[in-house]
Structure formats: C-alpha cells, structure tokens
Amino acid sequence: MKRRTLRLGLAAAAALLCGAALPAGAVNLYRDDIRLTDDHGAAVTLADWRGRPAVLTMEYSGCRFTCSALVSWLKAAQAAADARGRALDFIVISLDPQNDTPAAWTRYRRSRGLERSNWHFLTAAGRDTPVLARRLGIAYWREEEHIVHDFKLLRVDAAGEVIRSVDSYGADFGRFVE
C-alpha cells in the first residue's frame, strides 16, 4: 500500500510540475478544515468554496518581487476565464500571517485593482501556514525582511481537486482555466 501511495504522490507531483491534469482525488483542497480569516475579517475554510472552481496561490501583501509577477499571472487567468465565460474564484493565501491582517489585504487588493467579488485574500494562523503551503506544493522561506516563495498557481475544480498548475512563464492561461 505504501508503494502505491508513493507512486500516486510522485505522479501527482510530476503532473503538477508539467501543468498537466492530475489523477482524480490526487490533491483535494476543499477537504481542508484549517481556519482562515478573509480580508473582511470573517472566519472561513477552503471547504467554503466547495461547489465552486477556483485558482489558488500563496503570496503576501508586503511582497515587492515575485508577487508582482504572480498578480500579473492571476490577472491573466482572470482575463482568460472572462473571455471563456468561465466563473472562477481567485483565492490568495498569506505566507506572512503576522502582517497580513484584513486591513493589510484590503490595502493590497485596492492598490492592485483586485476588488472583484470573486477575489479572496485569506490568512491562516502562523502554525497552519506551513501546513497549507505543503498541501499546495509551495515552498517558501525567510530571507532577511522578505519571504522568498515559489511562483505557482493551482487550478481547482468544483470538488476541490487540483487539476492543473502553472509554475513557469509562457503558460497557456486559456487551457489553465478550462
């Protein structure tokens, strides 16, 4: 049994790296019961999005490097979804729970023009942030006053299963949002 589980884990990881579709049930984020706070101060879990397809990533409101490009990717995915008439939620989870308060996320949202109602900015407790990062396959670490992190968007179907991933330039966002 362990050998099969290991193979599924490696297959899921390989598919994520390639941006391919994943085996059904390989990674399901809507089964997660970690408590988060949204940018309005409300308590939520990822399971609250069950029944709704989404794009997920992790970043932090104080980022001045990777996150600027990541926001461009998110906007490109939103534009591709809009062009295809595809309703998607965009969920951004904090890598910096000490500083990403609802007020900080609200400022971030406004400064980047991300005020549509399908955009959600979430913060977990400090102990839960690395757990979520591992589940999403996003590595991160502190480098002086910055948080260095992977450049990754995950496409989740309505059941919460990760079906696609983007982690390199030149992505086909039309395919990604399908």
At residue 135, the 3 state secondary structure works out as helix
Contacts of 142 (CB under 8 A, 6+ apart): 148
Q: Hey, what are 55's tokens?
A: 């794009």
Whole-angstrom distance, CA of residue 122 vs CA of residue 68: 18
Are 58 and 93 in contact, with CB atoms under 8 Å apart?
Answer: yes
Are 70 and 147 in contact, with CB atoms under 8 Å apart?
Answer: no
Are 23 and 10 in contact, with CB atoms under 8 Å apart?
Answer: no
The pLDDT tens digits for 47-99 are 999 999 999 998 988 876 556 678 888 999 999 999 999 999 999 999 999 99
pTM for the whole thing? 0.82
pLDDT for 163:
93
Name residue 145's amino acid. E
Domains of the chain as residue ranges with CATH: 2-177 (3.40.30.10)
- Model confidence at 26, pLDDT cuts 50, 70, 90, reads low
